[in-house]
Chains A and B, each alone.
Chain A
Amino acid sequence: DIVMTQSPDSLAVSLGERATINCKSSQSVLYTSNNKDYLAWYQQKPGQPPKLLIHWASTRESGVPDRFSGSGSGTDFTLTISSLQAEDVAVYYCQQYYTTPRTFGQGTKVEIK
């Protein structure tokens, strides 16, 4: 199975500041035939189901604010919130869909400092 490891487990960021979450996979999730990274990011607010923010490592879902961006390739990925807003308080998960079983990172809790 591909193990997804996120860092940090939690972070507190001031409103308007940048938040950075890292995700590392135990093996590459880059499919060389199409040069796509099979990596998604989800946001989960308390009491709600997860919401897909980014797929293919860097493609924002429709309606997702552009302060959210994804980067990286192969085994190392980053989710960046460029200017943290109060409504961004949530737990963020990365997930690989390169193979089954689909696997998620353990989650990173983002709070306001």
Chain B
Amino acid sequence: EVQLVESGGALLQPGGSLRLSCAASGFTFSNAWMNWVRQAPGKGLEWVGRIRSKTHGGTTDYAAPVKGRFTISRDDSQNMLYLQMNSLKTEDTAVYYCTTEDGSSAFWGQGTLVTVSS
């Protein structure tokens, strides 16, 4: 059974930094492309970015609002996906989901809440 479990959400002030983690199991993580998707309270879904598998270069793509501030990385030895978030803004407040990426997103974690507020 595929499982994705996010962690690391917190309440922090604008300008702060945070790293989210996503523990993956039930599939061959090293072959998987992975996404981060976020959802602000009461709002819709917003794609944050993705990371390709190492065999496809392990490269990343980001949405414009987070480019240059957020970094997606992976540790295939630990089946872990990460989202490093720097220079956080109030508009980054959201539930952050990790998802598999095979074009569409077949599997989602339960999400972790990040609140940025002064």
Contact = CB atoms under 8 A, between A and B. Distances in A.
Interface size class of A (residues with CB under 8 A): 20 to 34
A24 interface: no
Given A38-B103, A49-B109, A93 B45 contact: yes
Contacts of A51: 108
B97 interface: yes
A52 B47 contact: no
A61 B104 CA distance: 11
Contacts of B104: 40, 52, 55, 95, 97
A100 interface: yes
Interface string B44-64: 111100100000000001011
Question: Which of A40, A42, A52, A93 is packed against the most chain B CB atoms within 10 Å?
Answer: A52
Contact of A55 (B46, B63, B103, B110): B103
A102 interface: yes
Interface in B68-85: none
Contact of A97 (B63, B103, B109): B103
A103 B65 CA distance: 13
Contacts of B63: 101
A104 B45 CA distance: 6
Contact of B46 (A42, A44, A104): A104
Contacts of A95: 45, 104-105
Interface in A34-55: 38, 40, 42, 44, 49-52, 55
A104 B111 contact: no
Contact of B44 (A61, A93, A101): A93
9 contacts: A40-B103, A42-B45, A42-B105, A49-B108, A49-B111, A51-B108, A102-B50, A104-B45, A105-B44
Interface of A: 1, 38, 40, 42, 44, 49-52, 55, 61, 93, 95, 97, 100-107
